[in-house]
Amino acid sequence: MNNGKTRASLLGVAALYLLYICYELYQSRDDPNTTMTPAVRIIFIALFVIAGIGLLIYAVREWRRSRTDDDQPAAQDDKNSLK
């Protein structure tokens, strides 16, 4: 199993969860039964969007890097190592 792809997948899931939280905050923006002020809600929506998109971009880059690492053959520089 490739650890790079697994890590990128978990990062992608975390990014999608942040975007889901943002969506839920956006949907309930007119809910009168909350203690969160509208200004604070907008700030948190913006922060979750920025963090989610940034993490999603990072996950895609990690996934691509792990894919290129799979294509390269393993290095054979263990000539001087103890066996």
pLDDT tens per residue, range 20-68: 999 999 998 888 888 888 899 999 999 999 999 999 999 999 999 988 7
76 inside domain: no
37 inside domain: yes
Give the C-alpha distances (Å, rounded to integers) separating 69 from 3, 4, 66: 11, 9, 5
Helix (H, G, I), strand (E, B) or coil at 82: coil
15 inside domain: yes
**Total of domains in the chain:** 1
Which is more confidently placed, 5 or 46?
Answer: 46
Structure tokens at 46: 């913006």
50 inside domain: yes
Which is more confidently placed, 31 or 76?
Answer: 31
Provide the residue range defining the domain that includes 39. 2-68
* Side-chain-facing half-sphere of 69: CA atoms under 13 Å: 11
pTM, two decimal places: 0.74
Q: How many CB atoms sit inside 10 A of residue 25's CB?
A: 16
d(CA 69, CA 46): 35
- Tell me what pLDDT residue 52 has: 95
